[in-house]
Amino acid sequence: MGAYGPKGKSRAALPSSSRLAQSKRGDMPGNILIADYDPAILKLYTRIFATTGYSSTMAASISEARGFLETNHYDLLVTDLMFPDGLGTELVELF
């Protein structure tokens, strides 16, 4: 599982609430795409980010995440690397 900022720049750790909360839209919380085929992991990350005010979208496959990336803006991508339908690195390249 990795966290990536725009243009695929890797983030060593999850961003602090002050860094991500100051998204490109000003005071609004950051928008996060969480991609993992394990439903328990998706729910866990969604709960973690929700407690700090972030909006998150869950994707359970590469194809689902690709669709979200093509139609929405995200400030952060959190993705697993291995999916049944591809590799998480594909998402990083699109992000």
Q: Give the residue extent of every domain in the chain.
A: 2-9+31-94
Name the 3-class secondary structure at 32.
Answer: strand
Architecture of domain 2-9+31-94: 3-Layer(aba) Sandwich (3.40)
CA gap 24, 88 in Å, rounded:
24
Query: What's residue 89's pLDDT?
Result: 94
pLDDT under 50: residue ranges of the chain: 11-23
Query: What's residue 20's pLDDT?
Result: 46
Two tokens, residue 62:
């590469």
Residue 84 CB neighbours (<10 A): 8
Query: What's residue 81's pLDDT?
Result: 95
